[in-house]
Amino acid sequence: MQQFVILAYDAKDEGAMARRMAARTAHTQAMVEARKSGNMICGAALLDETGKMIGSNIIVNYPSRKELDAWLNSEPYVIGKVWENITIIPAKLGDTFKDLIKG
């Protein structure tokens, strides 16, 4: 299994926050399911200086980039056009965090 860091920034148009909130329950459930399967290691909302959500930072665990991309294509924030700019960086968790990796 390979780990990836996902930095996903929200769209900045007027409807972006409304789309985020509309997709939030489905997104949260998708994160719960990914955590149960061992694909989700951790995640956090990215905030601006006022505390407003502007994106997401996620560390995931997938056999390959192909499987990660398949998951992303079904992710509610992608489908709902919440995330506008997504950067995916291959990563490797250090030995201190091996207990977080399943599979």
**How many domains does one find in the chain?**
1
Q: What is the pLDDT of residues 32-90, one digit of tens each?
A: 999 999 999 999 999 999 999 999 999 999 999 999 999 999 999 999 999 999 999 99
Q: Is 83 part of any domain?
A: yes
Q: Is 102 part of any domain?
A: no
Q: What is the pLDDT of residue 96?
A: 92
Q: What is the pLDDT of residue 103?
A: 63
Contact status, residue 100 vs residue 60, Cβ threshold 8 Å = no
Q: Is 62 part of any domain?
A: yes
Element (H, E) at 24: helix 16-37
Q: Is 60 part of any domain?
A: yes
CATH number at residue 74: 3.30.70.1060
Q: Is 36 part of any domain?
A: yes
Element (H, E) at 19: helix 16-37
Q: Is 103 part of any domain?
A: no
Q: Is 56 part of any domain?
A: yes
In this prediction, residues 15-40 reach a mean pLDDT of 94
Closest residue by Cα to residue 46 from 86, 90, 98: 86
- The domain of 56 spans 2-97
In this prediction, residues 6-21 reach a mean pLDDT of 95
Closest residue by Cα to residue 30 from 13, 52, 8: 8
